Amino acid sequence: MLIPVVIGVTLITFTIAYVIPADPARAWAGQKAPPEVVEQIREKYHLNDPLYVQYYYYISGLVRGDWGYSHSEHRPVLDCLMDYFPATFELTIWAMAIAIPVGIYLGVVSAVKRNKIPDHLSRIFALSGVSMPIFWLGLLLILIFYTYLGWFPASGRGITPSHTYTGLYILDSILSLDFQSLASDIWHIILPAVTLSYATLAVMTRMTRSSMLEVLRLDYIKTARAKGLPDKIVIYRHALRNALIPTLTVAGLAFAGLLGGAVLTETIFSWPGMGRYAYHAISTLDFPAIMGVTFLMAVIFVIANLIVDIMYAYLDPRIKLGE
Amino acid sequence: MEETASQNFGSKYESQIKEFKYTLHLIRKSPLTLAGLILLIFIFLVAIFAPYLAIEHPIYIGGQQTWLSDFNQTFQPPSWKHPFGTDDMGHDIYSMVIYGTREALYVGFIVVLVAMLIGVLLGAYSGYIGGWFDEVLMRICDMFFAFPGLILAMAITAALGPGLLHVMYALMIVWWPAYTRIVRGQVLSVKQNQYIEAARAVGVSRFKIIWKHVIPNSLPPILVQATMDLGNVILTAAGLAFLGLGAAAYTADWGIMVSQGRSWMIAGKWWWSTFPGLAIFVTVLAFNLFGDGLRDILDPRLRR
Amino acid sequence: MSDVLLKVEDLHTYFYTYEGVVKAVDGVSFDIRKGEIFGLVGETGCGKSVTALSIIGLIDEPGRIVSGKIIYKGKNLLELSEEERRKIRGKEISMIFQEPMTALNPVYTIGDQIVELLLLHEEGIANIKRAPKELKEEKKKKAIEMLKLVRMPDPERTIDSYPHELSGGMRQRAMISMMLATKPSLLIADEPTTALDVTVQAQILNILLDMKEKLGISILLITHDLSVIAEVTDRVGVMYAGNIVEIADTYALFDNPRHPYTVGLLQAIPSVTEKKEELKYIRGSVPNLIYPPSGCRFHPRCDYMMPICKKEKPKLVEIEPGHYVACHLFGGE
């Protein structure tokens, strides 16, 4: 399942990196690189050979961990990504942790109170979320909560925990019982996580609403009500459990928005993750870095969707894994 | 004679007229859809009449949009003279936002139209003939779906080199698979219908069947998708511009304006980023409000 | 008349739609006696299902019960609070639906769905997750007993099955056993056999008859199928366009139908024993319930139409003991 999709991903990244640029060697070496370096790269990646040969070297490079050289950081791309990945991972996890429960709850309320005031409000809130430029939202939050109110910090991840085991600061702070850094790290992640979660939250709300509306019309809901069950049980135990199944697919897709949004959010909040790395890479034309981030994000997205497939089988007894 | 003809017309189209009236009724009953429609009309009017609404106007030097600087007017907060304030070169932000409407709509429409055209052609053909072509095309689409849209567009633009035109190419490349898949799905479901079988049985050509029967029937969901995508494309283009991949600095592009004003936001000079960002938000919201309402209204399952 | 379990009096249930007010049930009265199967028959859209949903209290927007009384064991259900009605639903009055394929929740096992109902009405525990394990086991045993009662094959295994693993007939059995688990006094069965194969239909009807005997319950059986009526019901009400046009003992109705609509319905049944030249049918079609015909709603389709039929709505009158008809042909005497 995973392997063919990742091969597909490499086909596209290969095309972007080797076929689209007018002079791939120049693009990979960087605009300021001296001609010898460009020539060296041309040799190393066999850029004068036919494309399928280049693809072979590209793939074997990826497998061996040679993802190119990031000239903005003067070290291999993979090293940079390893450093930056935990920050992005932490941010997206927290954004998800906000978006999924809140989004589902608002979607349920919206569906149950269809065409009434709560529905209108939550629809407007959700439509705003999918329409909001995430970088603008981040800036507004900084303006309000940092510049004017001074409640939250506007940049960085906070104090580094005394021991780093995972690179996830909040988790590491707890593990090393460093409460000073824990407070600081939570403090720092709130604004970026809220910013990043909004769009996903909105998508979850909309999807939950529409699948709830679909489910609420079905006969087994009538049955549940005919059993005399209270509305709460009918809605959450009987309707929502079924409505979650299609919603889950969207949660997987929404994860893509989260990864894209991370690039913008990290830029705004100077969050030292892969997104900010990509932003710096763009401004210094560090092409290997951009391709590295692109490939890794695609792989993360593919894995996220795999997890969704597994959860699917858990939620829906009609689906058996491997069928 | 004539009277019976018109009566026939009336009765022949009676159900369609009734449906249409009902659709209008639904639009009226749905305040959000109506709000979206009104906002859209407003935005189009702004784009059309931009030269009359703006205070300052760009000049074009060698095809490059340029705004004249006024160093006596830098960082003016919003006032009657400069409703949205000015930037660090004294440009009137209000005028740039107004002209930015044109660019945003231009990018949105061109990208969506091209992506839709590719999608309709490939999707209709692929869905109709099936076989290995269909199989290969769908696998290619899957490859594209494995990427987060913004990230893929970012990489493609980086490979092509920054610039508005390249952003548009990148967005077209990112968006066509979605349309291909929608159209293909529609074609597959329409193909099952008996009247298509009948048309085939009486020897109507393949091209004619696709053109006359399949495409018109798959139009409503595509139009809904296109309406929402206009907003999404504008939003993604703004994101790319914000990252420095789109239009040049100091041009009437909302994304680059927010990006340029960003470092001043923290210092309290909020207007530079706020107004162009608001413009993006309102425009995308308008498309989403209208598209969302349209989907509910056209969806036969939710109609009654 | 102490043997009356449920009495519906002049019930009006309207739906307020875009096109206008749909008078789905417009002045319906009948009663159901203890231990009988009362059939409600009529064409699709005549208001039989709406009547059933009104009784159990599941009329949704844009529908509303406008007026009338539903008297169950001496209490008018329409005067109770939603909370009080909820406690009756599933405990005293239960309902099963037409589509056994979709009427059971696909993500829970049959056992879970029955146990949930038992916990709710016997223990007052609405959330099955909060129930102690032993209690759940106890209820599960009871659920297996219920499955045995409806002659479910292999009940120990079926109890842990998901609905999609069962056939249509088995699902309908599961449904019946669930809705009877609390031993209600009235079961409303809305087209319980329509979606099933003919052979399975007979089994399900037999189970219903059996349940009536064994549990002493009353059943309100709703169907458009006269053969189902003939097979199992004790008494029948014939509905037409939101009204009841005739009520009689099943035997009397088939033997001596009085209302022209009933006569038409019976003549429309194909017969093997009698060779007819052509199948009879009732001319015209079911009227629009937003602008129903004036007077007797059947008059545009009636062969015996008189001037008065257009003007005045006939009342339900008893023409023979236990045989009621709403028709001007019989109203005069």
> If you average pLDDT over every residue of chain A, what do you get?
86
| DSSP reduced 3-state for C222 | strand
| DSSP reduced 3-state for C10 | strand
Residue A321 in any domain: the answer is no
Whether residue C180 lies within 8 A of chain A, CB to CB, comes out as: no
Residue B28 in any domain: the answer is no
Residue C1 pLDDT grade (very low, low, confident, very high; cuts 50, 70, 90): very low
Percent of chain B clearing pLDDT 70 (strictly above): 93
Domain boundary among C161, C181, C201: C181
pLDDT of residue C92: 92
Residue C97 in any domain: the answer is no
Q: How far apart are the first and last CA of chain A?
A: 12
pLDDT of residue C308: 87
Residue B19 in any domain: the answer is no
Q: How many domains does the structure of chain C reveal?
A: 2
Is the domain of C63 the same as that of C198?
yes
pLDDT of residue C331: 64
Tell me the β-bridge partners of C243.
Answer: C240
Is the domain of A128 the same as that of A232?
yes
- What CATH number should be reported for the domain holding residue C213? 3.40.50.300
User: What is the distance in angstroms between the Cα of B196 and the nearest Cα belonging to chain A?
Assistant: 30
Is the domain of A82 the same as that of A43?
no
Q: How far apart are CA C194 and CA C187, in angstroms?
A: 17
Is the domain of A182 the same as that of A125?
yes
Is the domain of C312 the same as that of C176?
no
Instruction: Tell me which chain B residue has its CA closest to the CA of residue C61.
Output: B304
* B217 vs B237, residue with greater confidence: B237
pLDDT of residue A29: 74
- What CATH number should be reported for the domain holding residue A172? 1.10.3720.10
Mean pLDDT of the C315-327 span: 89
- Are A88 and A263 spatial neighbours (Cβ–Cβ below 8 Å)? no
Instruction: Tell me which chain B residue has its CA closest to the CA of residue C16.
Output: B304
- What CATH number should be reported for the domain holding residue B179? 1.10.3720.10
Phi-psi region of A68 (alpha: psi -120 to 50; beta: other; left: phi over 0): left
Is the domain of C332 the same as that of C278?
yes
Is the domain of A23 the same as that of A141?
no
Reported as a single tens digit per residue, the pLDDT across A115-171 is 888 988 998 899 999 999 999 999 999 989 988 898 988 888 888 887 788 888 888
Domain boundary among A36, A66, A96: A66
Is the domain of A34 the same as that of A104?
no
Contact residues on chain C for A233, CB-CB shorter than 8 A: 126-127
pLDDT of residue B300: 60
Domain boundary among C166, C181, C196: C181
Mean pLDDT of the C140-153 span: 90
Judge whether residue C188 has pLDDT over 90: yes
Reported as a single tens digit per residue, the pLDDT across B88-116 is 878 888 888 999 999 999 999 999 999 99
Residue B279 in any domain: the answer is yes
pLDDT of residue C46: 86
Contact residues on chain A for C97, CB-CB shorter than 8 A: 219, 222-223, 226
Residue B145 in any domain: the answer is yes
Residue B180 in any domain: the answer is yes
Residue C37: C-alpha distances to residues C20, C219, C236, C320, C329 (Å)? 35, 5, 9, 21, 29
Judge whether residue B8 has pLDDT over 80: no
Is the domain of C30 the same as that of C110?
no
Is the domain of C164 the same as that of C290?
no
Contact B146 A120 (CB under 8 A): no
- Are A238 and C102 spatial neighbours (Cβ–Cβ below 8 Å)? no
Which letter, b or e, does each residue of A86-95 get, where b requires 16 or more Cβ atoms within 10 Å of its Cβ? bbbbbbbebb
Contact A227 C97 (CB under 8 A): no
Residue B10 pLDDT grade (very low, low, confident, very high; cuts 50, 70, 90): low
In the block, residue with structure tokens 């842990």: C160
The set of residues, in sequence order, having a beta carbon less than 8 Å from that of C230 and lying 6+ positions away, is C250, C254
B-contacting chains (≥3 CB pairs under 8 Å): A, C
Segments forming the whole domain that contains residue A27: 2-66
Mean pLDDT of the B229-238 span: 93
Q: How many CB atoms lie within 10 A of CB B23?
A: 14
Domain boundary among C138, C165, C181: C181
Domain boundary among A22, A42, A66: A66
Is the domain of A133 the same as that of A10?
no
Residue A222 in any domain: the answer is yes
Residues of chain A with pLDDT under 70: 1, 320-323
- Among the residue ranges A3-12, C218-227, C247-256, the one predicted with the least confidence is A3-12
Question: If you write DSSP's letter for every residue of B119-143 in order, what string do you get?
Answer: HHHHHHHHHHH-HHHHHHHHHHHHH
Segments forming the whole domain that contains residue C151: 102-181
pLDDT of residue C323: 92
Is the peptide bond between A246 and the residue preceding it cis, with omega within 30 degrees of 0?
A: no
Is the domain of A62 the same as that of A85?
no
Contact A287 B159 (CB under 8 A): yes
pLDDT of residue C280: 67
Whether residue A228 lies within 8 A of chain B, CB to CB, comes out as: no
C-contacting chains (≥3 CB pairs under 8 Å): A, B
Reported as a single tens digit per residue, the pLDDT across B35-84 is 899 999 999 999 999 889 888 888 888 778 888 887 888 888 888 888 88
Percent of chain C clearing pLDDT 90 (strictly above): 37
Instruction: Tell me which chain C residue has its CA closest to the CA of residue A229.
Output: C126
Residue C272 pLDDT grade (very low, low, confident, very high; cuts 50, 70, 90): low
**Residue A317: exposure state from Cβ atoms within 10 A (0-12, 13-18, ≥19):** middle
Contact residues on chain A for C192, CB-CB shorter than 8 A: none
Reported as a single tens digit per residue, the pLDDT across B234-281 is 999 999 999 888 888 888 889 999 888 888 887 778 888 899 999 999
**The token pair that represents B246 in the structure block:** 């789109």
Residue C3 in any domain: the answer is yes
* Closest C-alpha to C204, from C176, C225, C235, C166: C176
Is the domain of A155 the same as that of A49?
no
Is the domain of A56 the same as that of A112?
no
- Are C289 and C327 spatial neighbours (Cβ–Cβ below 8 Å)? no
Contact A237 C90 (CB under 8 A): no
Question: If you write DSSP's letter for every residue of A47-74 in order, what string do you get?
Answer: TTS-HHHHHHHHHHHHHHT---EETTTT
Residue B270: C-alpha distances to residues B284, C35, C154, C260 (Å)? 21, 78, 73, 81
Contact residues on chain B for C16, CB-CB shorter than 8 A: none
**Residue A63: exposure state from Cβ atoms within 10 A (0-12, 13-18, ≥19):** exposed
Residue C164: C-alpha distances to residues A235, C117, C152, C167, C197 (Å)? 21, 20, 16, 8, 17
pLDDT of residue B170: 94
Residue C140 pLDDT grade (very low, low, confident, very high; cuts 50, 70, 90): very high
Contact residues on chain C for A220, CB-CB shorter than 8 A: 102-106
Residue C231 CA, distance from chain mean position = 15
**The token pair that represents C291 in the structure block:** 């602008």
Reported as a single tens digit per residue, the pLDDT across B156-190 is 998 888 889 999 999 999 999 999 988 888 888 77
Which letter, b or e, does each residue of A145-174 get, where b requires 16 or more Cβ atoms within 10 Å of its Cβ? bbeeeeebbbeebbbebeeeeebbbbbbbe
Is the domain of A108 the same as that of A250?
yes
Whether residue C120 lies within 8 A of chain A, CB to CB, comes out as: yes
Residue C120 pLDDT grade (very low, low, confident, very high; cuts 50, 70, 90): very high
Residue B2 in any domain: the answer is no
Judge whether residue B3 has pLDDT over 50: no
User: What is the distance in angstroms between the Cα of A135 and the nearest Cα belonging to chain B?
Assistant: 8
Residue A323 in any domain: the answer is no
Q: How many domains does the structure of chain B reveal?
A: 1
Judge whether residue C95 has pLDDT over 70: yes
Is the domain of A198 the same as that of A223?
yes
Reported as a single tens digit per residue, the pLDDT across C31-50 is 999 999 999 998 888 888 99
Best mutation site among B97, B151, B266, B282 for testing chain A: the one with the most A CBs within 10 Å? Answer: B151
Contact C90 A228 (CB under 8 A): yes
Residue C87 in any domain: the answer is yes
In the block, residue with structure tokens 């969806």: B299
Is the domain of C65 the same as that of C127?
no
Best mutation site among C16, C17, C18, C61 for testing chain B: the one with the most B CBs within 10 Å? Answer: C18
Residue B303 pLDDT grade (very low, low, confident, very high; cuts 50, 70, 90): low
Is the domain of A117 the same as that of A141?
yes
Residue B256 in any domain: the answer is yes
Contact A233 C58 (CB under 8 A): no
Mean pLDDT of the B223-240 span: 92
Is the domain of C77 the same as that of C109?
no
Segments forming the whole domain that contains residue B187: 40-303
Residue C97 pLDDT grade (very low, low, confident, very high; cuts 50, 70, 90): confident
Q: How many domains does the structure of chain A reveal?
A: 2
Residue C149 CA, distance from chain mean position = 22
- Are B64 and B240 spatial neighbours (Cβ–Cβ below 8 Å)? no
Is the domain of C1 the same as that of C42?
yes
pTM of the model: 0.84
Residue B6 in any domain: the answer is no
> If you average pLDDT over every residue of chain B, what do you get?
84
* Closest C-alpha to B111, from B219, B252, B232: B232
Residue C153 CA, distance from chain mean position = 27
Whether residue A213 lies within 8 A of chain B, CB to CB, comes out as: yes
What sections of chain C are H helices per DSSP?
48-56, 82-88, 100-103, 110-118, 133-149, 155-158, 168-180, 198-215, 226-232, 250-255, 260-267, 307-311, 328-331
